Amino acid sequence: MAAVLALVCALGALAGCGTGQPAPIGAAELREAQTFPYFKVYWVGGRFANHPLVAVDGQSDYVSSVGDSVYYGDCVPGKHIVGGSCLLPLQITTVIYALHSNAALGVQHNTLVRGVPATIYDEGRSLELYTGRLAIDIFSDTLNSALAAANELRPLNAPGSASQPLPLPVYCPGLTGALTARLQAVMERLPGQACQRTSAQVAYVKSLSQ
């Protein structure tokens, strides 16, 4: 990822960060991303709104705790890329979900997006979706932009389209805060009764400490 961030920021510097557009991603780098072997990586195609795909994390840049990302557009004010100085209008990061509480995300709003549980955070600019064994983080400059990207998500390295529903998560997301009735109903019917099993495990651990 560090190499990709350096590339994006260098492109931004060449373009005059915030002015102009960096060059779209090269064919060789895109092919490498399309053969990423560990899990589905999600993107929104070669262009999002007026922003080209400018960089991707391939296998060589993969860090399991961070995930694999795709990056769109020129540098813009108000949105930091983690670990770098470049500001982009859209970054999508796919990572294998590790069970945790969402409390650290700060103020958030839980909802359904593409039929799967999701949470809106980062003052409404970012969105995390829970699907399969993955979490998909969409970092953008506005909620409308993040939601538009969510509706265009499809796999980069596997068959699939934006018109297909996202698969329900096989785990119980660690949502914090209120759940709507619709969201609660979806959580209760996750594969393998994931949330019921998680609740039972938490209750058991608590009973051991009493």
pTM of structure: 0.83
Neighbour count for residue 156 (Cβ, 10 Å):
22
The phi-psi region of residue 144 (left if phi > 0; otherwise alpha if psi is between -120 and 50; otherwise beta) is alpha
Q: Round the average pLDDT of the chain to a whole number and report it.
A: 84
Domains of the chain by residue range: 2-209
The confidence score (pLDDT) of residue 195 equals 94
Mean pLDDT of the region 132-144: 95
Mean pLDDT of the region 24-34: 88
Sign of CA dihedral 27, 29, 30, 34: positive
Q: Which of 130-139, 180-189, 191-200 has the lowest mean pLDDT?
A: 191-200
Does pLDDT of 9 surpass 90?
A: no
pLDDT digits (tens, 9 = 90+) for 65-103: 999 999 998 764 433 444 445 568 899 999 999 988 898
The 10 Å CB-count burial string (b at 16+, else e) for 34-68 is: eebeebbbbbbeeebeebbbbbbbbeebbeeeebb
Using CA atoms, how far apart are residues 182 and 93, in angstroms rounded to an integer? 26
The confidence score (pLDDT) of residue 21 equals 53
Q: Band the pLDDT of 193: cuts 50, 70, 90.
A: very high
Does pLDDT of 2 surpass 90?
A: no
**Residue 158 backbone phi and psi in degrees, to 5:** -160, 160
Residue scoring higher pLDDT (6 or 90): 90
The confidence score (pLDDT) of residue 162 equals 94
DSSP assignment, residue 67? B
